[in-house]
């Protein structure tokens, strides 16, 4: 049975959902640890520079292609040229692969909420974290719980599920974040964390940092897997995509900065190092929480914050394959969700086990989890972002003058869409493959 194509209730709910998609683990889990690994403030500068010069272009292109074609990813590419169907297909594929590792991290959050609530006594956080990730059954249960929570909202549809989740979770997220920032800034020596974030040390600048910053920018802005294209295809009224693009970029960047302001002062206040990698949020922060009064309450608030952000992004990742399957195969949304759940679970379970039972199993010398992260962030997302710029600039012939009043800025945009952004993305892709 074919269902009617959904549309957003209002411009507000659309923007909130797009911000909900962008603001996620990328801001709170990935951004601080990547920034910590690449030397703080100078990374931030490079990251901001890349967002305002390059990354806003594929973001704009995705929303516009969605809005013009009013189709899910495969149909959108196909309607530009039937030969491009295969390019469209890469988007839901990327969505399935990203979700398989995104939902594992989501599962870790579920577990950390559980241990904060039950007030488990932990001596060594680093050992505790690796024991948990290696312990196959609880880790798989957590992955599936998180996946199920997101697919539940997706199955309820755009209005009752996606909009509802964003309307409730995004304000909750903002309130908890403000509370935690106030808490963090009042810790002794909090200013050291702020200096680390905002006082650049240019000796740390290197080419790897540019790659890491570009990869982070694509991931955090949800560019390169069709999530924004699909969300853009549900816009009914003739509203400015340019304004939406600025709003998403502005909000996502503010939330990334705020999560740094929430996390770094706490880390420096306790004399810890910010370069502990992916475990920053799951090892370093819980260690801090264990040393402060009402630590389990703060810990619980923090992981609920992370969960809220992860659910709204997770929903948008799922929406891409769900929309493609239901519209292409004329299947109900609920049935499409059921199939997407099964496929993602079939990949996410071995990926969860890659920390424990399947740790010996390697693809291209990487564990399943690392392979999924690498193949999506370094290969498929830049590739999809490259194709969307090419399709929008060269085939749909989107021009800056359609939405920018200043003639010169409009020309600069055209150059960015047709040449600069595709070139930089291709460059990232080639370097990332080496
Ligand atoms: N932007 C999301 C985050 O920061 C992740 C995401 C990637 C969502 C791609 C949708 C598409 O966590």
Residue nearest to atom 9 of ligand 1 (CA): 222
Distance CA(228)–CA(219), nearest Å, equals: 12
Q: What is the pLDDT along the chain (434 residues), one digit of tens a residue?
A: 556 788 888 888 999 999 999 999 999 999 999 999 898 999 999 999 999 999 999 999 999 999 999 999 999 999 999 999 999 999 999 999 999 889 999 999 999 999 999 878 888 888 999 999 998 899 999 999 999 999 999 999 888 889 998 899 989 989 999 999 998 999 999 999 999 999 998 998 888 888 889 889 999 999 999 999 999 999 986 678 888 999 999 999 999 999 999 999 999 998 888 887 778 889 888 888 888 888 889 899 999 999 999 999 999 999 999 999 999 999 999 999 999 999 999 999 999 999 988 989 999 888 999 899 888 988 899 999 999 999 999 999 999 888 888 899 899 999 999 999 999 999 878 887 77
- CA of 121 relative to ligand 1 center, distance in Å: 33
Work out which ligand 1 atom sits closest to the CA atom of 29.
Answer: 12
Mutate to test the pocket of ligand 1, among 18, 227, 310 (most ligand atoms within 8 A of CB): 227
Distance CA(188)–CA(198), nearest Å, equals: 18
The CA-atom distances, in angstroms, between 338 and each of 72, 106, 155 are: 18, 19, 8
Read off the tokens for 220: 């955090």
Q: What pLDDT is stored for residue 293 in this prediction?
A: 85
Ligand 1 pocket by Cβ (under 6 Å): 21-22, 24-27, 98, 219-220, 222, 225, 227, 313, 316-317
* C-alpha neighbours within 13 Å on the C-beta side of residue 124: 4
The CA-atom distances, in angstroms, between 354 and each of 7, 25, 89, 245, 347 are: 39, 20, 27, 37, 11
Distance CA(24)–CA(35), nearest Å, equals: 16
Distance CA(141)–CA(146), nearest Å, equals: 9
- CA of 36 relative to ligand 1 center, distance in Å: 20
Work out which ligand 1 atom sits closest to the CA atom of 381.
Answer: 9
Torsion of CA 230, 236, 240, 242, to 10 degrees: 0
- CA of 150 relative to ligand 1 center, distance in Å: 14
Task: Answer whether 74's CB lies under 8 Å from 88's CB.
Answer: yes
List the Cα angle 105/109/112 in 5-degree steps: 135
- CA of 221 relative to ligand 1 center, distance in Å: 6
DSSP codes, 370-409: HHHHHIIIIIIHHHHHHHHHHIIIIIS---GGGT--SHHH
Q: Model-level pTM?
A: 0.92
Backbone angles phi, psi at 363, to 5 degrees: -120, 125
Task: Answer whether 159's CB lies under 8 Å from 9's CB.
Answer: yes
Work out which ligand 1 atom sits closest to the CA atom of 224.
Answer: 9
Read off the tokens for 186: 């009042």
Q: What pLDDT is stored for residue 429 in this prediction?
A: 83
Work out which ligand 1 atom sits closest to the CA atom of 310.
Answer: 12
Nearest Cα to Cα of residue 57 among 419, 408, 428? 419
């Amino acid at each position: 049975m074919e269902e009617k194509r959904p549309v957003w209730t209002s411009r507000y709910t659309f923007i909130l959902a797009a911000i909900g998609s962008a603001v996620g683990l990328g801001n709170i889990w990935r951004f601080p640890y990547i920034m910590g690994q690449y030397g703080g403030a100078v990374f931030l500068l490079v990251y901001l520079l890349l967002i305002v010069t390059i990354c806003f272009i594929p973001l704009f292109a995705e929303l516009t292609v969605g809005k013009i074609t009013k189709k899910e990813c495969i149909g959108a590419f196909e309607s530009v040229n039937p030969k491009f169907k295969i390019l469209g297909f890469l988007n839901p594929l990327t969505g399935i692969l990203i979700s398989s590792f995104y939902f594992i991290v989501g599962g870790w959050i579920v577990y950390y909420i559980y241990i904060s609530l039950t007030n488990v006594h932990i001596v060594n956080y680093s050992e505790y974290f690796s024991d948990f990730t290696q312990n196959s059954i609880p880790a798989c249960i957590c992955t599936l719980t998180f996946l199920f929570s997101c697919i539940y909202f997706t199955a309820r549809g755009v209005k009752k599920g996606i909009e509802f989740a964003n309307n409730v979770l995004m304000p909750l997220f903002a309130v908890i974040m403000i509370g935690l920032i106030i808490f963090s800034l009042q810790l002794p020596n909090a200013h050291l964390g702020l200096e680390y974030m905002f006082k650049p040390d240019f000796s740390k600048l290197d080419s790897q940092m540019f790659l890491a910053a570009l990869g982070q920018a694509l991931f955090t802005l949800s560019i390169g897997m069709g999530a924004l294209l699909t969300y853009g295809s549900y816009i009914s009224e003739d509203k400015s995509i340019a304004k939406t693009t600025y709003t998403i970029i502005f909000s996502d960047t503010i939330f990334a900065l705020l999560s740094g302001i929430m996390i770094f002062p706490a880390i420096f206040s306790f004399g810890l190092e910010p370069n502990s990698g992916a475990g920053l949020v799951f090892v370093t922060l819980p260690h801090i929480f264990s040393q402060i009064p009402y630590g389990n309450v703060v810990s619980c608030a923090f992981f609920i914050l992370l969960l809220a952000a992860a659910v709204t992004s997770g929903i948008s990742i799922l929406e891409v394959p769900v929309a493609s399957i239901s519209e292409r195969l004329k299947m109900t949304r609920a049935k499409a969700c059921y199939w997407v759940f099964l496929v993602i679970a079939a990949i996410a379970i071995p990926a969860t086990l890659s920390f424990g039972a399947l740790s010996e199993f390697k693809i291209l010398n990487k564990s399943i989890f690392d392979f999924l992260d690498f193949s999506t962030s370094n290969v498929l997302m830049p590739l999809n972002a490259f194709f969307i710029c090419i399709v929008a600039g060269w085939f749909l012939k989107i021009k800056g003058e359609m939405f920018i009043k200043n003639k010169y800025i409009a020309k600069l945009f055209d150059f960015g869409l047709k040449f600069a952004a595709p070139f930089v993305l291709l460059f990232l892709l080639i370097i990332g493959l080496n």
